[in-house]
Structure 1
């Protein structure tokens, strides 16, 4: 499979706008390890190989464990995620598949219990931004480089 249209090259202004959203997310109060779990899980749900590769490596570089990175797809069954992480991973799933039933009242109520309104907004931004990147990567058929 070869790469297609490259938004960063063909419309750098649009790509830079998404980059600004990404920067806001990275600079948020959400812990870096959770940010990367969000990005890995959304990328797995969207089947974006390029983003899975990139964010898995970034998570490991930021001190995340192999066990938690590898286990994120089975977070419901895995014992090594906190309640705060679990509700965020549920939110990632509901936002990524928003066309199915939106964000449920039960997930939102749990978010309100565990996070401030500012943090909820930051989580929304992180999830929306990685979903945008995933869709661009998939449409463009971006491929990760093979590790040597």
Structure 2
């Protein structure tokens, strides 16, 4: 039997917008291609995020580095590459700043490349963040 929804006080366009928002919402919870925990050095502790000798993490469009957090915004994919340019709004050590970064998946090994203005880093993905 069909269900009839009474729209007391709500216009159909409002209901349509709500339905569209609920449809899009699960996409925001999906992990991005760069999400994960990465070793700063070959012998880094994967369980220690954000400290020297530990690891860094990318999760929910936030980069967690050594005593710094950067919100990753305005992603622009680079054509024919598994790479994206992000604007980074960073906070750490008592100051805030903005940077741009290129992130690219390593095509041969599990890891990423991060290219900042004048610097390039390769980070190996941690197998299990709890190690």
The TM-score, its normalising length taken from structure 2, stands at 0.23
- Higher-strand-fraction structure: 2
User: Higher relative contact order at CA 8 Å, sep ≥6: structure 1 or structure 2?
Assistant: 1
Structure holding more helix per residue: 1
Q: TM-score, normalised by structure 1?
A: 0.21
**Larger radius of gyration, structure 1 or 2?**
2
